[in-house]
Structure 1
């Protein structure tokens, strides 16, 4: 039996004549907050959110691979159903305090300024890393990722 994600991937790869590639599923925001996931997806699908970031230590703690250029992800909504496919176009390891204003703007949240991004992200990353008994500080490395929507059913 084919899952909705597998069907979306098949439709995308067939239409674009892509062979030999794989995908992972992904959502933005806490899985137990479907409204937040849907809010972030609306920003992504509108083109306002084109980048994201997470502490490097998060990937180690979760034993999750750091997104690489060319990676495909099936974007899931708050009900964990596929809504689009995104592809990583930039993935860089950057110290927190060196994240650019352009990256902050492209995250598409808050007032889009680097100052607002730093305040929100420092609070978010600190809380996130406490789950892993790890302290996040402004000198820690962050994975800075830029992605694009390459397929959407809308």
Structure 2
């Protein structure tokens, strides 16, 4: 069950906010989706995407959301083992998500463009740059940050990371912001 929590946490974490609707989602999420479909009426009968933030703390969540808004962050990573343990489907191409800040306020809408499963030790510099949102030592930074995060979550379940553990690599496009 912890793996499912980590998938949800990392990729589809529920929103937190001081200004919420009756179901706990910040009003800005609804407003962003409504503004998006007003300009893109073909999505009018589409269910509102899930809203979530990257990472597990305010500083990183807000920093990563800003990178998404600025078009610098174009990818996200999760452990394949989390999906496998939760018996959850891998992300699907074309799926949209509303990215929020740590408090659940809508920042951007993204659309998944590719999904690959790659061993940790085969992550490319190009992918790391897309995920980290920087071109300054992206692979070194990606490996350090993700090794630490994956290690801490795996150890909670009595497991250890390995250089060949599978990583679900999602590349996405930011398709809407309200700058």
Aligned to 1:51: 75
Confirm or deny that 1:18 pairs with 2:6: no
Distance in 2 between the 1:102 and 1:40 partners? 18
Q: Is the counterpart of residue 7 in structure 1 residue 9 in structure 2? A: no
Residue 122 of structure 2 is aligned with which of 84, 94, 98?
Answer: 98
Deviation at 1:11, TM superposition (A): 2.1
Deviations 1:39-87 (A, max 9, x none): 1111111122111211111233455542211011011112112121111
Counterparts of residues 1-154 of structure 1 (less than 5 Å) = 3-19=27-43, 20-22=45-47, 23-30=49-56, 33-61=57-85, 64-107=88-131, 108-109=133-134, 111-154=136-179
How far is 1:91 from its partner? 0.9
Normalised TM-score (structure 2):
0.74
Please say which of residues 97-106 and 129-138 is displaced more in the overlay.
Answer: 129-138
Equivalences, count: 152
Alignment check: 8 A CA contact 2:77 2:169 kept: yes
- What is the SS of the residue equivalent to 1:149? strand
Contact in 1 for aligned 2:129/2:135 (Cα 8 Å) = no
Q: Which runs of 5+ in 1 are unaligned?
A: none
Per the normalisation by structure 1, the TM-score is 0.85
Q: What secondary structure does 1:18 align onto? A: helix
More strand by share: 1
